[in-house]
Amino acid sequence: MDVASEIVLRLADPVARPSVLTAEALLAIATVAYELDPALVTEPATATFDRFDLAVPLGARVSALAQFRRTGEPVPWEVSASWDTGQAPPAAADAVWTGAVVVRTARPGGTIVDVTTEESEVDSRIALGTTVAMSPPEHDPAPVPVPLPVLVAFLAADATTSPRDLLRATAVARLGAARYAAADVPRGAPDRRFDRLVCWVVPDPTFDDPGWSGAQSDTTPEQRRADRLRAARGWLAGQGVAVITFTEPT
């Protein structure tokens, strides 16, 4: 079986899905969708799945708009129509997930428990200094799980799929995701960057290709692979694209 098909089958199976959507992969998706600092996440990310559709197609309807103008009439007539093509629409994405990535984040700096202000003996309105007492970190409240709603269109590929082909497929996958409604962001969640994402799922050896930038030649193959993945995630995040890798079972 080819790798892309194996990825899709694992995404389809709720039992096997965590082998693709690992805690690290979920965090990678969340940091593209939200203004989220991964350094503040204290526990492995988890996920909820409201809906997980496979082979999501493009719409099969075609629309057209025409304008007609008679001589001497300043305003043209407009005629619009839409119809079904009668053909099976092509697939837009291998899968679309609506649900949430659940994260727990730390509150840096502890909790303020006391504030002492030293006032000027000449004018009490002038503060000479302020001392802030913070609680020890172990006394801070436990991080509360925050569900971050996500809407993700997945594209599965093998290591030979070119970035050019993936970028072209990304535009089509966005159209497939547009059919789904994005959930509202809950209070207390980070700001959302993108309400719909496209996620590339590729095997680990993809980033052994030196065509991917970001690696230094004097490092180990494993480090070069990690550096290329990090660099790719950096510039693709601005396009609303997450990248996760899949380790083939041995």
pLDDT 10s digits, 138-162: 656 677 899 999 999 999 999 999 9
Rg (CA), the chain: 25
pLDDT at residue 102 above 60?
Answer: yes
14 and 137 housed in the same domain: no
Domain presence at residue 71: no
Domain presence at residue 155: yes
- Taking residue 90's Cβ as centre, other Cβ atoms within 10 Å add up to 11
Distance of alpha carbon 195 from alpha carbon 168, whole angstroms: 20
Domain limits for position 115: 108-142
124 and 187 housed in the same domain: no
pTM, two decimal places:
0.76
126 and 169 housed in the same domain: no
Residue 228's H or E segment, with its range, is helix 221-237
Write the single-letter amino acid at 237. Answer: A
234 and 206 housed in the same domain: yes
33 and 121 housed in the same domain: no
> What is the reported pLDDT for 67?
61
162 and 227 housed in the same domain: yes
Domain presence at residue 80: no
> What is the reported pLDDT for 94?
96
Residues facing 41 on adjacent strands = 105
How many domains, the chain? 2
Percentage above 70 pLDDT, the chain: 73
* 63 vs 55: which has the higher pLDDT: 55
> What is the reported pLDDT for 83?
43
